[in-house]
Amino acid sequence: MTHPYDLIIVGGGPIGLACAIEAQKKSLNYLIIEKGAIVNSIFNYPLYMTFFSTAERLEIGNIPFNCLAPKPGRQEALEYYRNIHRYFNFNINLFEKVTEVQKLENQLFKITTDKSLYEAKNVVVATGFYDIPIEMSVKGEELSKVRHYYKEAHEYAFRDVLVVGANNSSVDAALECWRKGANVTMVIRKTEINNRVKYWVKPDIENRIAEGSIKAYFESNITEIRNNQVEIETPNGKVTIKNDFVLALTGYKPDLLFLEKMGIQLSDDELKIPTYNAETMETNVDGLFLAGVVCGGMQTHKWFIENSRIHASMIVDYITSK
């Protein structure tokens, strides 16, 4: 057990790093604990992903994000945040997973990881939402051909690929796989492509569907996945198609059980929004704060880097004012 920190930040993504920057400004004794690489979620994005946000909206610590293209890609973002770490020299433990955060009777927090124990006066949870896929709960989903994460298209070239969903990740995967030679089919619950799809990509996928290059079943759902086939329920009845891979890019959710184990109250509806003070980001547990997309519960589209960077200064200003 080390000496108590003023602040422990769980999660080394952009918002966790922003919290550390504010902690440094106020001379707080802090530690970031990250279960993977620095900005691990961005590292796990598809190789050629382009952000919806422009570079300046991804900046933290008033350090410019120089980018040649109008929108930065994954590689540029990784380089930027590595340089942020070089500049600020964060106190950060990488590849160390927090397993428990417990409030003690002396009002300190005990933070248990897979490597050590720590104590802190305050804790910020900035863990994002990219770790737990939202499953389809259909027969055959456990097969190895079913993927909930997409990295690049090469593996799927010249194969029969089914992409589930109509959001940014699904549309990007469908287009990339098709352009690399895959026979792509999409299964979409709603009547159209999601309006939140990047505005420069949405016409592309709609045109590919209209011309028949990519087959799309709207108002449809997968009912069963087999080794060489997929069964789909459509408005016109059941359809069975040949299939080699299923890219079930149906979204992700925060580790809500992890939040509940800390004592954070969640809303009773399906959104599971955590309880926190919108002015300080402090939860119903004194000294325990939330920052970034984890604040939205299942509303993972509500908070982004660009609109949750401010959480860092709100939290640290409140801590130092007490």
Cα(122)–Cα(316) distance, integer angstroms: 10
If pLDDT is split at 50, 70 and 90, which confidence band does 92 have? very high
CA-to-CA distance for 25 and 251, rounded, in angstroms? 36
Instruction: Identify the pLDDT of residue 129.
Output: 86
**Cα–Cα distance between 251 and 186 in angstroms, integer?**
15
Tell me the pLDDT tens digit for each residue of 155-210: 999 999 999 999 999 999 999 999 999 999 999 999 999 998 999 999 999 999 99
- In tens, the pLDDT along 207-264 reads 999 999 999 999 999 999 999 999 999 999 999 999 999 999 998 999 999 999 999 9
Alpha-helical (H) ranges within the chain are: 14-25, 40-43, 74-88, 168-179, 202-211, 256-261, 305-308, 310-321
Residue 233: strand, helix, or coil: strand
Q: What angle do CA 18, 199, 71 make, to 5 degrees?
A: 40
Is 288:264 a contact under the CB 8 Å cutoff? yes
User: Of all residues in the chain, what percent carry a pLDDT higher than 90?
Assistant: 91
291: Cα within 13 Å, side-chain hemisphere: 31
pLDDT of residue 311: 97
Asked whether 111 and 118 are in contact (CB, 8 A), the reply is: yes
Compute the average pLDDT of residues 69-84. 94
For position 14, what pLDDT does the model report?
Answer: 97
Q: Please give the pLDDT value at position 13.
A: 97
Q: What is the pLDDT of residue 278?
A: 96
The predicted structure's pLDDT at residue 2: 58
CA-based radius of gyration for the chain: 21
Beta-carbon contacts of residue 84 (< 8 Å; ≥ 6 apart): 17, 60, 61, 63
pLDDT for residue 277:
97
Give the whole-angstrom CA distance, residue 227 versus residue 214: 22
* Averaged pLDDT of the chain: 95
Question: Bridge-partner residues for 240, per DSSP?
Answer: 231
Task: Please name which of 276, 270, 321 lies closest in space to residue 299, comparing C-alpha atoms.
Answer: 270
7 phi, psi to nearest 5 deg? -155, 130
The predicted model gives 39-66 an average pLDDT of 93
Statement: the pTM of the whole predicted model exceeds 0.95: no
Residue 191, Cβ density class (10 Å: 0-12 exposed, 13-18 middle, ≥19 buried): exposed
Does residue 322 carry a pLDDT above 90? no
Q: What pLDDT is stored for residue 70 in this prediction?
A: 83
CA distances from 203 to 80, 153, 162, 194, 313 (A): 30, 20, 20, 12, 39
Give the domains, in start order, of the chain with CATH numbers. 7-132+252-321 (3.50.50.60), 135-248 (3.50.50.60)
Q: What whole-number distance in Å separates Cα of residue 50 and Cα of residue 59?
A: 16
Give the H/E segment covering residue 119: strand 117-120
DSSP annotation string for 2-37: -PPBSEEEE--SHHHHHHHHHHHHTT--EEEE-SSS
Q: What residues form DSSP beta bridges with 312?
A: none
Please answer whether residues 306 and 298 qualify as being in contact, where contact means their C-beta atoms are separated by less than 8 angstroms: no
